[in-house]
Structure 1
Amino acid sequence: MKIEIKQTQDSNYNSIKAAIWLYFLLWIFEGALRKWILPGLATPLLIVRDPIAIFIILRAFYLKIDFINTFVILGAIFTLLGLAITLNFGHGNLFVGLYGARIMLIHFPLILIIGAVFKKNDILNMGYAMMGINIVLTLIIYFQFTSPQTAYINIGIGGEGSAGFDGAMGYFRPSGTFSFISGLSAFYILVSVFIFYFWLSKEHCSKILLIASTVALLIALPLTVSRTAVLGVVLVGFFAFIGSSTSLKSIIRVIISVVVIAIIFISLQKTTTIFNLGTEVFMSRFDTAKGQAGGSIILRTIEGFTEPIIDLLKEPFFIGNLGMGTNAGAQMLRGSTKFLISEGELGRLAGEQGLILGGGLIVLRLVFALSLFYNSMKLPNDLKLLPLTFCGSALLLITQGQWAQPSILGCAVITSGLLLASINKNITIK
């Protein structure tokens, strides 16, 4: 299915761009607000980006931005039908139902709006910002990694407990400025998109910023003790290689970039104690995982597709559980943050809305991801690098990302929106 979004030219869209930037910053610092700054408002801050999303949509309607397409319409239909079934025949809790419905009704359309209003300069400016934030964030997770879980920097949501997750060798997976490690992993995967792009393209970027952010990323990855983060960055690199290997000159640029990154890596290994410690802890977690490290992740990814599809076929045609699959919904319904349906995203969709509506949303997201990839591959060779590098992060976020988790939902919206903006033919590629 072809995605056609006409990009806008009117300066009035600056208000929407500003709101998108606010949405972006709240995605990164939502956890900081909930842990350190306003812990007493930790629960309401779960939806801190929702008013921004509503403003963006209303402003887009007012300014007649063309963002309504088949994906948005079908997503809204499936969700509204699921909400009606939930309120009349399911758990019946209005707030839980609306919390589940907001994902497709007010966040998913933002992908299309970002694709319509962002130009290449907007994408690159967000990349510069992310690379700068990456340096600061790496300093934060350094202190989180080396500090005890009782330290203030490791305090949990609402100012209680610890935000760290079990890692290895007595060290914990840090959360950075996010609520959980999942948001931090998604951040590093997305920032790697820009780092790979600026290394492989002729685009202007401060070498000091690029090298500093690359060093920060290499130091941060083992400190996260997250296999998802490391393998996600590797996947982004693979897509960047596909997008850049279009001529002899581009292949030479790839080789030079790999050599530079390898030199930085070796230098860190020989001179930085914390890098060696983080690598040791990270490899220990790999070793204690069942089976081969890479194989377990690949198997888990494959099973994330196959098992929910098999389970979906066993579900009733309709189920009124919209919102129940989210942690917030579980808390409101049962007073527990445990998953009431499924930890996996596709399993959540199936368990919340059944074979017809849940299956429809699964297919919609799969087709949407394939459409973005197809449109990226169709671009001329000299325009493929940026969108294909984004594909390395966006495709899994769209098809398997846990949108029930606010940080992952925010990352999916931003990454997919930037991917769609980078595809658009009206973006000037220098």
Structure 2
Amino acid sequence: MHTITEQKVIPNYNSIKIAVWLYFLLWIFEGALRKWILPSLATPLLVVRDPIAIYIVLRALYLNVKFMNPYVVLSLIFTLLGLAITLTFGHENLFVGLYGARIMLFHFPMIFIIGAVFTKEDVLIMGRVMLWITILMTIIIYFQFTSPQSAYINIGLGGEGSAGFDGAMGYFRPSGTYSFITGLSAFYILASVFVFYFWLSKDSCSKLLLIASTIALLIALPLTVSRTAVLGVLLVGLFTFMGSSTSFKSIIKVFFTVIIIFSLFTVLQKTTAIFSLGTEVFMNRVDTAGSQKGGSIFLRTLEGFTEPIVNLMNESLFKGNLGMGTNAGAQMLTGKTKFLISEGELGRLGGEQGLILGGGLIAVRLFLAIALFFKSIRLPNPYKLLPLTFCGTALFLITQGQWAQPSILGCAVIATGLLEASINSTFKTE
């Protein structure tokens, strides 16, 4: 009598993983293509990641990846209804409508596809690559910070103007390989996830690379002259502490990690002129911005969350403005790059699609952020550190990240996708 044993077939997701890596690298270097390498193609390169996102979604459907869930289904329904209303009763511009719709139709589902196909080792490999790129990025912004705005390294999109943005004391906020400071700030906040994680975890990472990338991060933060970057990294640190303080031994490890980072900060402050200058410029910007009306970043963040919710109650039930709230959509409609609806993300959603559909998309994102946090916090202690560290950046990007801006959208997809993967990896056999 012969016994037939069933062998579980593990799906081969390599094609999707390669596409995700391409999406990741283009998120980091898309601005470099648009500024330095292919400036004549700056406009079409704005959507260079869109075909990759479409491929990933179609490939995931073909390979039967389990990524369809209530968040994806509701976002598809709300967006497709919003597109129909826009083309029928709204601004009626097909290209603007599609540009707005692509965010939830193709990029948003990628979060759950990454979560389904990436293992923990995939996440950590991407993290180690980010540590290497952090060193490169810091070298770039060092030259951008110390060079005049007319220098080639500070050139703007399309090879015109300057990519720098007003900072303090005559110095400008650099953009790194991105088109604008917002993308650079998001990069360093996400990079800090892996810096904190590898210091506190048992997972392997070259100590030389970890120390070098930590120094690069510390040097970069004041050079960005970005309060968002600094506070974002501190927020990641807070969530890292939440994920690591599960035993006395873990707390001791956190304590020694803080001492190491503080020691590096002190040494840099006393021995490195550019770090001292960057810190002085950054603190000057903090003082200047804080003295201005509405300058407090804490108040701005709070208002950015509460004000759009209040304003949403005054919106029409339905609106046909899909895509109008993006700068690219405004450019196509008016010939000028400006905010036609709202600079804030939640205000954009309500202003584009109204109380029912816009409010529905806001609810989808808020509930997703809450669900991811509770999934992370409820994990067994040995598995909490990585997901909760990711929560330090992903939750903000989900709830308030300006997804109308391509760099922030890319960061939100990657950070949240890796958060999903780090949660799901608890239940995977790698």
SS in 2 for 1:278: helix
In structure 2, the partner of 1:276 is 276
Q: Distance in 2 between matches of 1:404 and 1:250?
A: 39
In structure 2, the partner of 1:232 is 232
Using the TM superposition, give the Cα deviation of residue 192 of structure 1 relative to its aligned residue in structure 2, in angstroms: 0.1
Q: Distance in 2 between matches of 1:59 and 1:295?
A: 46
In structure 1, the partner of 2:297 is 297
Deviation track 1:24-75 (CA, whole Å, cap 9, x = no partner) reads: 0000000000000011111100100011011111111111111000000000
**Does the CA contact (< 8 Å) of 2:142 and 2:223 recur in 1?**
yes
Unaligned runs of 5+ in 2: 1-7
Deviation track 1:339-370 (CA, whole Å, cap 9, x = no partner) reads: 00000000000100000000000011000000
Unaligned runs of 5+ in 1: 1-7
In structure 2, the partner of 1:99 is 99
In structure 1, the partner of 2:194 is 194
In structure 1, the partner of 2:55 is 55
In structure 2, the partner of 1:4 is none
- Number of aligned residue pairs: 422
Runs of 4+ in 1 over 4 A off after TM superposition: 291-295
Deviation track 1:231-253 (CA, whole Å, cap 9, x = no partner) reads: 00000000000000000100010
SS in 2 for 1:339: coil
In structure 2, the partner of 1:314 is 314
Deviation track 1:243-302 (CA, whole Å, cap 9, x = no partner) reads: 000001000100110011111111101110000000000000001013499981111111
**Does the alignment pair 1:122 with 2:110?**
no
SS in 2 for 1:166: strand
In structure 1, the partner of 2:4 is none
Percent of residue pairs bearing the same amino acid type:
76
In structure 1, the partner of 2:43 is 43
**Does the CA contact (< 8 Å) of 1:16 and 1:59 recur in 2?**
yes
Q: Over aligned residues, Cα RMSD in angstroms?
A: 1.5
Q: Distance in 1 between matches of 2:104 and 2:9?
A: 27
What's the TM-score, normalizing by structure 1? 0.96
Q: Which amino acid aligns with 1:251?
A: I
Residue pairs, 1:86-235, within 5 angstroms: 86-235=86-235
**Does the CA contact (< 8 Å) of 2:31 and 2:178 recur in 1?**
yes
CA 1:199–1:297 in 2, change beyond 3 Å: closer, same or farther?
same
Q: Distance in 2 between matches of 1:120 and 1:368?
A: 21
Q: Which amino acid aligns with 1:374?
A: F
In structure 2, the partner of 1:84 is 84
Using the TM superposition, give the Cα deviation of residue 426 of structure 1 relative to its aligned residue in structure 2, in angstroms: 2.3
**Does the CA contact (< 8 Å) of 1:31 and 1:177 recur in 2?**
yes
Q: Which amino acid aligns with 1:122?
A: D
Deviation track 1:357-414 (CA, whole Å, cap 9, x = no partner) reads: 0000001100000010010011001110000000000000000000000000000000
Q: Distance in 2 between matches of 1:293 and 1:71?
A: 38
**Does the CA contact (< 8 Å) of 2:168 and 2:282 recur in 1?**
yes
**Does the alignment pair 1:384 with 2:371?**
no
Q: Distance in 2 between matches of 1:107 and 1:9?
A: 29
In structure 2, the partner of 1:5 is none
Q: Distance in 1 between matches of 2:233 and 2:10?
A: 36
Q: Which amino acid aligns with 1:426?
A: F
